[in-house]
Each structure stands twice: as C-alpha cells, then as structure tokens.
Amino acid sequence: MFEPGTVVDDRWEIVGPLDTGSMSVVYRGRDRADGHPVAVKVMKPEFSRDPVLVQRCIREARVVQGIVHPHVVRVEGAGMAADGRPFIVMELLEGETLELRIARGRIALPLVAEVVSQVADAVDAAHAAGIVHRDLKPDNCFLLDSPGGAVRVKILDFGFAKLSDRLANPDGFRTESNALLGTPLYMSPEQVRASRDVDHRSDLWSLGIMAYELLVGAAPFDARPLPDLLLEILSRPIPPPSARAPGLPPALDSWVVRALDRTPERRFQSGRELADAFAAALRGVTTPTEPPPPPPAIAPVVRPTLRPRSLPRWVALAITVAAALATLVAVLLGSRRAHGAATEPPGALACPPARAVIAPHEPCASSSSERVM
C-alpha cells in the first residue's frame, strides 16, 4: 500500500485509497505540476513479479492513450514505481460503475438507451483505432455524476484488449490466441471457443448482454459452475426479454435475437447500428432478425469494339450489278466512238481529251462549218 504523501515518478502524489481490484489498487492522487486530481492504478506486489501481467499493464496504458473519445477514460501517464510495480495514471472519475447501478434495481428505458448509445460510440472509436476491448461488462462502464442527472458513461480497463495487425507492438507482447480471456458471463461464443477470429463483433455481443441485463435486471445466462455457463453461451436458447420483464416493448425481442446471434456475420456490424436499432425497438419498431443482404455487385461496363457493319446481301448485290452495268456502258460507248472516228473525212482533226477542254462551247474543227459533238 502507498501511504498518503507518497510521490510516484516524481510527479503524482498519493492522496489516499479509492478502490481495490483483483490485481491492483486505485488511489486518489494529484498532479504536483498543477494540482489537478487524478486516479493512480498500481499493481499489487504479488502480481508484479509476473512479467506477462506487467507487460499487460503497460500495454493497457499505451492502448488507451491511442483512443481519444469522450466516452473512454483518459490516460495521463504510466510507468514503473520505485518498488518495481507498474502504474497507470488516469483522469479521476466521480460516480459509480454500471454494475453497482444495476444492483440497485431496474433502470428506466430512456436511461438504458442512452447508456447503450454512449458505450456503442466508445467501442466504435476503439474498433476504428484497431482495438477490441474483449472485457466489456457493467463493472468496466462508469456512470459519471453529472449536473441535472444527465447520463455520461466512460469505458474503463483495456487490460485484455486485442490489437489489430496494423498496430505495432514494440515490446513483443502478444495475447495467446488459445487463451480464455475476459469475464465469462459477457464472453461471446467465439471468445468461449478461444478463436483466433475474435474481432469487433465480439464486443457487440458483450454490449448486447449488458443491454439485456439492463432491461430485465439479469443476464440471459446464469449457470454454475463455469463449464456449464460456457456451454449455455454456446448453445442455450436465449429467453426473450419480454418473457422475463412484462411490459417491455415486444420489438426488443427481435432486437435481442439479432444482437445475440451466435454467428458474428448475422449480428449488428457496428455499435452505431446496434444502438440505433435498440432505440427504434423502444419505439416499437421491429428489428429484422436477418441482416440486410449485401448490395448486388455492379458488373463493369464493357464497351464493345466498334467494327464496320456488313451491308445487307441485297444491297451488296445491287452495287455489284450497278458496277457491271456501268462497265458494260463504258465499253459500248468506247466502241461507238472508235467507229465514228474511222468514218470521218481525211484532214479532220481529232478533239483533244475532255480533261484538256478549257472552253467546252468552243468548236474544234478544221473549218467554221464543222462541230464535234
């Protein structure tokens, strides 16, 4: 335990304890540079000897720093304390976890819709940054105290987050692909199977379980021990929320069918799609249990190569006959002209070729009385 007045990393002064988790202690602190309050999360000594857990703590800080969103807790610093324990410094949040709020009783539907919407926006921001939370649950969602009772949610604890391949991991730490990570009650079927294919839709399943719990006051699965619970997640039919909480809009039943489909491709594909459908279900709009079909593929337009058109056969025949007649006429005319030239009297002058005639009306003859037609 850090005593009040302890200074961590020459900057963060411990004021007092705030909360204790399974692997860490959270302290109220302040930034000595300007005095603003912070929360300092420090790993317990018995876990700080495990290099994998230490790497995970450091990695969590780096992951959260990569998400800038009003509904994701802000990380202000991280490092190793003087005694070798890793720590994370976060903004100080005043309020309670969603888990504590659920324990006090059912929540009004407008509040449920607002919580679902804000958490959906936060997970969409994480997914856009290439991060899958993998431990989304009410205890990792914090309801802030807000003036006038306005709802404001922050997502916490990215310790089990999965990074996309495009995000560099300079410390070489990787979560085992066959490890069962997360809180079992909120795990997606693909998490239960420890699948390599866990993606952003796993978080959407977890959000669907949270929404179900907010609606009826209990999660859809309740088996004990753990193997039975995991079997329920994989195969047990999910009771419609209206059957467990009379008075809920029946349209929420079809929303749950879609949100908790065991095939990821058939679920909602984004947090915003899930939240919008939830709000519509509260208004009585039934959610299609089948995802909309993908738009048809548009075939590329192939422009044909233009080729000269072939003429109809009768036109070609007509042209051939006309050419033959023209040739015949030319032969006959040439023969007639040759005969006329042979019968002219001696001394008659032959006319020059037609192309040499400049004045076609000028007579060409040996005397004024002769014309050549």
Please report whether residue 27 resides in a domain. yes
Residues 99 and 247 in one domain: yes
135 is catalytic: yes
d(CA 178, CA 224): 23
Residues 30 and 63 in one domain: yes
Burial pattern 158-167, b for ≥16 Cβ within 10 A else e, equals: bbbbbbeeee
Per-residue pLDDT of the chain (373 residues; tens, 9 = 90+): 899 999 999 999 999 999 988 889 999 999 999 999 999 999 999 999 999 889 888 888 888 888 999 999 999 999 999 999 999 999 999 999 999 999 998 899 999 999 999 999 999 999 999 999 989 999 999 999 887 778 899 999 887 788 765 444 444 434 444 455 678 999 999 999 987 889 999 999 999 999 999 999 999 998 788 999 999 999 999 999 999 998 999 999 999 999 999 999 999 999 999 999 999 999 988 877 666 666 555 555 555 544 545 555 655 555 665 666 666 555 555 555 544 444 444 444 343 444 433 334 444 333 333 333 3
CATH for 152: 1.10.510.10
Residues 186 and 281 in one domain: yes
Partner residues linked to 19 by β-bridges: 26
Please report whether residue 192 resides in a domain. yes
Query: Which contiguous run of DSSP H or E holds residue 142?
Result: strand 141-144
* C-alpha dist (Å) from residue 146 to 72, 223, 349: 16, 36, 124
Q: Which domain-ending residue is among 245, 261, 292?
A: 292
> Tokens 């019968």 appear where?
343
* C-alpha dist (Å) from residue 122 to 127, 136, 155, 158, 272: 9, 11, 7, 12, 10
Whole-structure pTM value: 0.73
Q: Which domain-ending residue is among 58, 92, 126?
A: 92
Please report whether residue 190 resides in a domain. yes
d(CA 125, CA 114): 17
Please report whether residue 171 resides in a domain. no
CATH for 51: 3.30.200.20
d(CA 328, CA 334): 10
Residues 101 and 69 in one domain: no
Residues 129 and 69 in one domain: no
Residues 63 and 211 in one domain: no
Q: Supply the range of the domain harboring residue 2.
A: 1-92
d(CA 110, CA 127): 26
Residues 60 and 159 in one domain: no
State the total domains in the chain: 2
Residue of 135, 157, 253, 261 marked catalytic: 135
Q: Which domain-ending residue is among 232, 267, 292?
A: 292
Q: Which residues contact 311 (CB under 8 A, 6 or more apart)?
A: 319
Note whether 368 and 352 are within 8 A (CB): no
- Of 263, 245, 298, which Cα lies nearest the Cα of 193? 263
Please report whether residue 201 resides in a domain. yes
